[in-house]
Amino acid sequence: MEIKENADLASRLLNVMEHDILPLTEKGVAGGNKVFGGALLRKSDLSLVMAQTNNETENPLWHGEVHLLKCFYEHPVSKTEKTKDMIFLSTHEPCTMCMSAIAWAGFDNFYYFFSHQDSRDSFAIPHDLKMLKEVFGLEPGGYNHDNAFWRGRGIFDVIASLPDDQAQPLLDQARRIRDRYADLSQAYQASKDDNAIPLN
């Protein structure tokens, strides 16, 4: 099923971030975890299948996206929902491990809010870009956003294609979401020395 990249999609992705992922992330950060999270939505009606957040204090592989997939496959909903029929929403541009997990799970897309550069510059978490460079020899943005497995797009790319009267309310909401994540990032950075996450 084709995904229509319009104001309705952008609005729904932002709403899921603000109302479904962020509350989970607030609890996760309070427990020492990073600010990353994700959600699965049905392509047919953009309804929420599941939302989750980072859980690296339990297992350093439980990035927001991978932890979401773990929880999805442990839940009965995975027996009735097909990944090809869902949208994968990631709060932050997925790292190389998470991109691969999205592909292995059979998703043909992902959408993200914060870029790898945001993770480095706004969240003081440079590991995504360092991994791309050190392991794969890629500069920022150097991976194939359109490939045989999936199409990866930033939510702001969708918003940029909209008329101003549709884009502005979404940008206002995005600013509010950014502010909340900035507060959570400060809380994580202040407490990260107390956790055992290898790449904190």
Which pLDDT score is estimated for 73? 98
Q: Rounded CA gap, 65 and 70, in Å? A: 9
Which pLDDT score is estimated for 29? 95
Which pLDDT score is estimated for 122? 86
Helix (H, G, I), strand (E, B) or coil at 119: helix
Output the tens digit of pLDDT for each of the chain's 200 residues: 889 999 999 999 999 999 999 999 999 999 999 999 999 999 999 999 999 999 999 999 999 999 999 999 999 999 999 999 999 999 999 999 999 999 999 999 999 999 999 899 988 889 989 999 999 998 888 999 999 999 999 999 999 999 999 999 999 999 999 999 999 989 988 887 777 777 87
Beta strand spans in the chain (E)? 37-42, 48-53, 86-92, 109-114, 151-154
pTM: 0.96
Which pLDDT score is estimated for 200? 74
Distant-in-sequence contacts of 53-59, Cβ < 8 A, 24+ apart? 53/21, 53/24, 53/25, 53/27, 53/28, 54/25, 54/28, 55/28, 56/195, 56/197, 57/31, 57/32, 57/33, 57/195, 57/196, 57/197
Q: Please work out, in degrees rounded to the nearest 5, the angle formed at the alpha carbon of residue 186 by the alpha carbons of 182 and 190.
A: 170
Strand partners, 90: 38, 112
Which pLDDT score is estimated for 98? 97
CB 110 within 8 A of CB 150: yes
Helix axes 64-74, 96-104, angle to 10 degrees: 30
